Structure formats: structure tokens, C-alpha cells
Structure 1
Amino acid sequence: MTQYPAPRLLYEQDNFPVFQNRMYDSADEAQNCPRGNIRIVEDQTSGLVRNDAFDPALVDYDANYQNEQANSTPFREHLEWAADLILDHMGTENLVEVGCGKGTFLEMLDARGAAITGFDPTYEGTNPLIQKHYFGPELGLAADGMVLRHVLEHIPDPYAFLCQLRDANGGGGLIYIEVPCFDWICEGRCWFDIFYEHVNYFRLSDFDKMFGNVVASGRCFGGQYLYVIGDLASLRAPRFDPENAIDFPDDFTASLQGGTAGSILWGGASKGVIYALLQGRAGAPVEAVIDINPGKQGRYLAGTGLRVSAPQEVLANLPATAQIMIMNPNYSDEIRKMSNNAFTYVEVGND
């Protein structure tokens, strides 16, 4: 029997919401949401980083999952940039998006003249370009280009999944992959960017290990995301390289010790959920949460049960001395403009 080296533990937390983007109708329901544990490890065989405590049986996406970011101008600009990159490298013919969510990005590509089909079993809209099931070999499709945005970090075995996509696509084709950047998380000590539903955490070097032919790659969205265009025909099993081991910071959660009670958070998505959760555990509970997504407003965050408010609900009653914690620095200019630059602002992870 083959003996594999034990993974190296990097970071752990207990009792995290399974879905940080699932919204709840009451504080009580949100506080009693499904929970799981975090045990982030570096695999000593593949070199990949994963949550070793992840239990896929806990994960069941439904209509209450709210991860729409396209309400924000900076994020729309990022999507436009990604669309340009994809069409420049893949053309406009015979494209497939796997895990297309609510279809925002697919519809953007369609509006640019791309012939594209989306696949997502959780899709609830009516766009005929989107099929409400998984992409598989039984469909008999062979796309020239595939799009996989913010899906791979949710998959328990990412290399095996990419191999399945390769096989389902006739053994090849280009694929655009976009995932969060683990180096960005480590560099900024962004403990609020570790989530239960993200099984994997990637570095650019991981994709160099998995693809023999990388057509384009880099960091985007202010360095927070990685993008890769790889040739599926060149897939190979990743191998641990001791010269490229994770340099995980010893002071990763140091900023938790300096938290201030009564913070106003702008951003009720993933970062805000975990920031509020761990700040509360550290004795510095959050007072209010603002988000411009109408799908979140009036509903409650997993774990803490904090209510999400529209900007005007909170800002109207804030003193000029109030401090607003901006959960994503990419949105700083937009937030300052929406609030008339009337308060003190802290860019979380950039301060």
C-alpha cells in the first residue's frame, strides 16, 4: 500500500458558516446556519492547498445563495476586461461556460457576438443559452474555448475535475480559469478571505504544474484573482516542489487582536461575513453592514445574524467621526463617492 506524506497544516478555524453567501430571512436562522471546520493544508504530494476538513455533503447551493457582484462598477469593469481577454485568445465561435451562475458573464459575451452555451444546474432564469445541468461527455459537444470562472476553488479534486472537462470536451480545447489568489491572501494577511465553501486555494505556479501549455496567465482584479488560459490537452498531474513550498505568514491573524468594537462594514459578501464572524469572536463585534446588492438588503448574514442595509439606511444616522471598513479595496473610490467622502475609511487588507 502506497504511503503518502502527511499534509502540512497552515491554518485552522472551527465552526464556520458552510455558505458565506447564503442569505437568511431572520437573525436566528442566520446564526443557526450549517457549519463546518477549516483546516487549510499544503498537500505534500501535489503541492496544492486545500481545506482538509471539507465535507461535500454539507454543500447544497440553492436560490438563497447570493454572490452577484455585477451591481458594482469596478466589478463590471473587471468582467469587461476578462471578456476582452477570452475573445482575444479564443475567438467568438463555439464557447462554453461551465458553472455560469446567474448568467451575467455569459450574457456579456453573448452581447459581444460570442456563440456561447452555459451550463449550471442551479440556474433559475429563462435564457435559452443556458442549460440547467452539468456539462458532460454525453452531450457530444467539443467547444473551442471553455470558461471556468470562480468554480475550481469549490471543487474537492480540481485536477480530476479539469481532466473530466478535457475528456468531456473531446480531449482538448482552451480553458479560461479565474480563481482567488492565495498569494494575495497571504501577502495581506487576509484571514477574512478563507471560506468553508472554497475547498482550494491557488497560486499561479499551481497552474504551471497542471498545464504543460499555458497560453496566458497573471493576476487581476487588483491582484485578488488569478487568471489562466491553458490548453486542456496538455494537462498533467501536479507534483509538490519543496523549492516552491508555501511561505505562510506566522502573523496571519495578528490584525484580529487590534479590532475595534462597533465597526461599520461596507460589503456584505464573503469578506464581510468572515470579518464580522471573527471580529465578534475576538471581542470586537460589528455594528452594521452596508451592501449595494438589493438581493442582500434586509436579509441576514450567515454566522453573526447581522442585518444587511442599503447605504442610505445607515449613512443617514452616522456621525462625521464614524469609521467605515471597506471590505474590498477595489470598491474604495465607488464607496467614497456614494457616501460623499464624509467619513473615515479603512481599506481592510490594505491598511
Structure 2
Amino acid sequence: MPDGADPSTEAGPPAACPACGSSHHGDLVYQIGQVPVHDVQILRSREAAVACRRGDIRLAHCNGCGFIWNQAFDPDLLDYALDYESTQAFSPTFNRFHERLARDLIERYGLRNKKIIEIGCGQGEFLTLLCDFGGNQGVGFDPAYTGNLKSKGITVIPEVYGQTRGPRDADFLCCKMTLEHIQDTRAFLRTVRDTLESSQDVTVFFQIPEVTRILRECAFWDIFYEHCSYFSPGSLARVFRAADFEVTNIWRDYGDQYLMIEARPGLGTAQPLALEESPQELAQDVQAFREGVRRDRNRWLSWLSTVQKDGGRVALWGGGSKAVAFLSALGPRKEVVCAVDINPRKANTFLAGAGQKIIHSADLPGFSPDYVLVMNPVYRDEVANDLSKLGLATTLLTVDPETCALLATNP
């Protein structure tokens, strides 16, 4: 059993909430010790994967604003200059979502022949869509950028946004799947707000993981070391207003896994939007998670132990963060024989921490899995289609509450 892979019943240390500054936070939400600090680092041997750099997760919940953060987070453990592979661009399902989102933002905000900034642009995939579809000019910021982008009209600066002297004027600023990596969220948003002082008409768009779903589904496989900050609709809107943004829209997307917010520079005094929950309402979800996560973790352990006892073999579909977090919480599992990833750059590498080999889908028949466990239910149909093309007869399961409950009644 991994050390501390359970919710805590002890109150956390009196550290101020990074989002609102309050010291009135409640009990710890979840804690687990010595997990990989990088889930998507390319690791070319099992020895390197098992010996990867590790840190602790100790999630605290602020009763004042609803923000959830890792009190044990140490940014000095992270190094985004490592061989880092986080793209989802090899998935047709994800690409359809990305293109739909880009076209929607372009139409809604008239983003044609405009200046666009993206914070945390990765390898520039989404920035390229915004610029190509709308004829826009783009500047991206990301310390993990490797310099392979060839699109015209786009410049990527391989630095953190708040530490660079790059251009500040923009008609649209977006930041996708980055804020959850920021420890001092309010200070970061305030920095963004200050850099837009000369662009008062700019629209700001952020996308982050949605913590309400994680809490309600007891999705411990969606809690990562790199993600030191977790937001619900209400807590996200509140920290934006605290940083002097006017929040204009909030919604969920991608199977409710992503939380989207649109804002513009303002005084941050607008009334709450319909999707925003109160801190008291979120506290109920936190308590439900604390009560349910140990139960669900034990259900997965029981099922995997039964598979092992029967001589079965399990392949995880998805060789990224969810697989790493899943196995970090469940411990070494011999019956999990491999992880599959359609990203060819990950083929013949190894999962951080647990050390399972990551293979390309074309190589899966050679592992003869009795079960294929899809780490993200959004991709179930895509995976089923790939398995059909491979002619592979196996039982397809998804990591979700319904499957977990089913396994409890039919081990």
C-alpha cells in the first residue's frame, strides 16, 4: 500500500490560502507520499522510471473560497527542461474538440487579423489553430517548448510568461491547462492583469481541470503532483475577481473534465454566474470525496488482485498522467503488463514511478491482455475502434465510478 494514499483526518498546518489569503481551511482532502513529480517525462528504461524524482501530495481545502491546493508542493522539484511529452494531438477525439473550441472562440470574439497571446502554449498546437483559422498573429510562452513549430505568424518564447520581456498588447489572451501548475494563483493572475493594462478591451480565456468532477467521482487518478492548484467554477471565478477581472462566462467541456472561464480586465465586482457554487456547497463535495476515495481505491485493488490470482493480464490505455496517478495510488501491480499510447514518441518508454512499459497500440496483440482499461472515458469509442482494427478480443473497461461500482458487485 502506498504510504498515505488515503484522505487525512488531521487539520493541515495554518498556511494561508494562495487564492484568497484566508487561514480558515479545513481538514486535508487527500494525501499520498512519494509520487512522481513529472508524469509525462520521457523515461527510456524501467530503472530510470522507477528511480524518477518524487514528491508528496497533501491537498488542503479553503473553507473561505473553495480553493484546493497541495500544501506539500515544492516547485524546485520540477524541471520542464527535461524530455517532456504532453501532446494529445495524436487523438482524433481530442483534435475534434480542439478545432471546435478554436472555431467557437474565433466566431464569438471576431478573432480575425488579431493579436493573440497564449500562456503555456506547449508546442503551439492550439495557438496554431487560432492563427490558421482566423488569420491571426500569435505569441506563445512555454518553458517546455522544443522549437519545432513552423507556422508563419507565430512566435514562441520558451520562458514563463511573468518572467519575460515579450510583447504585452493583445486582442485575446488564452491559457490552457497551465493555471493548475501555478502555486500562487492569485499573484499570477494579478501579473496577467497588470500586463494587460494597455489592452483593456482584451478577452481572457483560461481552461483548467474541473475539480468538482474529481471530487464527485472520487477520481484519485486525476490528482497529480504537477497540478498543485485545483478549481471549481465558484473558486475559479472568485480568484479571477480577486485579481480584478470581470468574469463573463464559465462552462464545462470535454466530458465535464475541463473548466472554461472567460473574463476581461475590470473591477471584479460582478454578481456570481449560474454555474458558480458556494464554498459551503463545495465543502459537501470535499467531504463526499474524503468518505468515498478509500472505498473506491480498495475496490480497484480488490479487482486487480482477483485478476492476478486468476492469471489475467491488464493493459492500461493511456500512458500519461492518469495512468501514473492510478498506479501510484494502487502500488506495484504485476498483472498490469503495459500501458498503451497512440503517441509514437512514447513507444518503448516507461511509466514514471510504476515502471510499466509504454507501447504503441499496434504492439498490443503481442501482450495478450484479458482486459484493456481506458484511463479516460472520453476516448472509449476511439479505443474500441482501434481494438476492432487490431482484431483483438479483450474486455474493454473504463476508469470511472460506474465501472468501479460494477467491479464491487461482480469481482
- With structure 1 as the length reference, what TM-score do the two structures score? 0.91
- In structure 1, the partner of 2:143 is 121
- In structure 2, what is the equivalent of residue 148 of structure 1? 175
1:132, distance to aligned residue in structure 2 (A):
2.4
C-alpha separation in 2, matches of 1:126 and 1:317: 34
Residue 157 (structure 2) pairs with residue 131 (structure 1): yes
The Cα RMSD (Å) is 2.4
Matches of residues 1-351 of structure 1 in structure 2 within 5 Å? 4-92=23-111, 93-112=114-133, 113-127=135-149, 128-136=154-162, 138-139=165-166, 141-170=168-197, 172=200, 173-212=202-241, 213-235=246-268, 241-242=279-280, 244-248=282-286, 249=289, 250-257=291-298, 258-260=302-304, 261=308, 262-281=313-332, 285-318=335-368, 322-340=370-388, 342-349=393-400, 350-351=402-403
**Distance in 1 between the 2:284 and 2:103 partners?**
32
> 2:5 corresponds to which residue?
none
Shift of 1:135: 3.0
Cα separation, partners in 2 of 1:346 and 1:186, compared to 1, 3 Å: same
Mapped to 1, the partners of 2:256 and 2:32 lie a distance apart of 25
Q: CA deviation at 1:22?
A: 1.0
Asked if 2 retains the 8 angstrom alpha-carbon contact of 1:155 and 1:199, the reply is: yes
Specify the alignment match of 2:17 in structure 1: none
| Alpha-carbon distance between aligned partners in 1 of 2:256 and 2:91, rounded to the nearest angstrom | 18
Structure 2: state its 5+ residue gaps.
1-20, 273-277, 404-411
- Whether contact under 8 Å (1:86, 1:176) holds in the other structure is no
Greater shift in the superposed pair: 144-153 or 121-130: 121-130
In 2, Cα distance between the equivalents of 1:182 and 1:4? 21
Partners of 1:3 and 1:184 in 2: CA distance: 24
1:138 deviates by: 4.1
Deviation at 1:342, TM superposition (A): 2.9
Higher helix share: 2
State the percentage of identical aligned residues.
Answer: 30
Structure 1 residues 134 and 196: alpha-carbon distance in aligned structure 2, compared to 1, 3 A threshold: closer
Give the distance between the partners of 2:374 and 2:209, measured in 1 at CA: 18
Equivalenced residue count is 346
SS state of the match for residue 102, structure 1? coil
Q: In 2, are the aligned partners of 1:163 and 1:235 still within 8 Å (CA)?
A: no
Counterpart-to-counterpart distance in 2, 1:126 and 1:23: 17
Alpha-carbon separation, structure 2, partners of 1:3 and 1:201: 16
Alignment partners' CA distance in 2, 1:192 and 1:6: 24
Call closer, same or farther: CA 1:140–1:10 in 2, change over 3 Å.
Answer: same
- Aligned equivalents of 1:94, 1:263: Cα separation in 2: 48
TM-score of the aligned structures, taking structure 2 as reference length: 0.78
Structure 1 portions without partners, runs of 5+: none
